[in-house]
Amino acid sequence: MTENELSKIVLDVAFDMHKTLGPGLFESVYESVMEYELVNTFNLSVKKQVVLPVIWKDKKLESGFRIDLIVENKLIIELKSVESLADVHYKQLLTYLKLTNIKLGLLINFNEALLKNGIKRIVNNL
9-46, pLDDT tens digit by residue?
999 999 999 999 999 899 999 999 999 999 999 999 99
pTM (two decimals): 0.92
Residue with the bigger pLDDT between 79 and 56: it is: 79
For residue 53, the one-letter residue type is: P
**For 45-76, what is each residue's pLDDT tens digit?**
999 999 888 778 888 887 778 999 999 999 99
Domain range list for the chain:
3-123
Looking at domain 3-123, its CATH architecture is: Alpha-Beta Complex (3.90)
* Residues 45, 113 contacting (CB under 8 angstroms): no
Other beta carbons less than 10 A from residue 47's beta carbon: 14
The answer to whether 122 and 107 have CB atoms below 8 angstroms apart is yes
124 neighbors 102 (Cβ within 8 angstroms): yes
d(CA 124, CA 126): 6
What backbone torsions phi and psi does residue 13 show, to the nearest 5 degrees? -65, -45
Say how far residue 45 (Cα) sits from the centre of its chain. 14
